[in-house]
Structure 1
């Protein structure tokens, strides 16, 4: 049996005809940059996320970059974030000449350790970027409510639709940055991203920044960038958005089935793997279903030989990436992040996964460990 880590073709059948009609509509009206397609999608996503405004941008990375620019982050500023994330989280900080300041993760959720955020605060910290990794929101509610905190930019690239205490991304920070990369729960047919914002003044500044800082056209009060979401992507995302909740429900059902199956076969009790931890006050959307396993690389090779797709998110923490050597961090500084990088393994969890496929994945992992 061959089971990819993600099967976008299996998902396509549900919305294929509507997506083709939306693309044809854009081809016919020939308005490819901004326009009604983008405005319509932004309105629908803002309504879904229960925020005042959504701004479509060119990628999740550019959403983060624009958010930092909107806060006037620049040379000499410090921005606190996690060492265990996709590169863009820290990369956008460095691109603006600011300094990423890392604190370790919670070993259960892989998100920023909330107590360490508070203890790392200083007058130099101009912003905090918590990452809602794998589809579960970081537990930042207490910090978000703290008096005198710096601005919070939620990196929600993997967590659109996730909730903490019943509230979605975009309700705990000054804005939330989402990604529409094809592998995301709401993915386009190429790159795309969005900013979810509550404060109208900040939203207006971000809307200007994404158009080279121009308002009106050709009049630039600030320096921005070319951060626009294409109309074709907006049209496709608008078709897919109504499916987002049902897809997330299916992912959760698959995740919970895995949890029981791994326990039943004895892999958990023997300490050979740990299933994902869900915060009791959170709703996980499982952009990835990530195990913590022993003999990770050997297991991954074994599963590959049996046709099971896997991925490692992420094999090398940011603080020991060569490009950040000048920050002065080294191995051992963030032990939970480093241990996670050596032990995490994502297995298929996409909505269309069948129980037979899931059973094959479980049986294959059990076979590797000689269990069952």
Structure 2
């Protein structure tokens, strides 16, 4: 086992209004953003986490939420300067900001770019006003297009568009229209994923009528074909990119890399080669409590060490999401286990055609990707 690349996730938990499908740790903004106090807390939290950094440099930074673009460019610049003063960075480093397409946030894009942020992820979800209303989004299709134009003029040549399919009342033409519009904006990356009803969300309590599975399957296949024809290569189950623009931060997750997590409710995965252990750590969730305790051990909401019997499942549920899959040596470096311990369980999956092997590399087949959850069930410890 060796220490893998290290990313940093920063959680900024406020949004204008919580979307009914969202199960993230996000909170509707009521009394104004406590920007200075929260940035101070983030940097205090990171100082406490420095023992995990060792001699590594940050591979990537991802600002997620919530709606991080609600923060002022000055606050984000101060935060990033503070991070760089504590942990050295790779050069060049990828720094992603999740942004709301609304006009208020898009006006800040030039200042965000000047602060060092070099990748935007725009939560568009759909380019049709009726679908946006059904999803509880507060922006319009016109505002989404304007935000894309603003981002490009601000110097962002690397931006992602988040789109959903399987929406209430969505026809095949609706779905294809969203993809056509997205491709026409010439983004570097498109994240395309199915709307699901997650527990403890408003949609779980008051579920909308979603399309039948067979119809969703039709939408997905048709739109994947259109994305491929438009030059977007599917490199992960829900991620499509032009050559050279895969999300470095998310690739590190899926390759079973390490990441620090600062902010209310943020999670971390950290490798400890000396003890042949992989730690998961998460911070307390409520933003007010987090700010009060960020400089102390009380900021930790919980921690665990991945059991040896769980390491294969944890590794495979990440790496098999990627088209590139994994190699036996990667498994051994990232888990500290001998590949021979999982080889017998992989063999019937290779025989059944759910997995493929080319040289040393093991990947999902197209059928295996479609039934990944079923495939992974074979690695759940008894």
- TM-score of the two chains, using structure 1 as the length reference: 0.28
Q: Return the structure number with greater relative CO, CA threshold 8 A, min gap 6.
A: 1
Q: Counting strand residues as a fraction of each chain, which structure ranks higher?
A: 2
TM-score, length-scaled by structure 2: 0.27
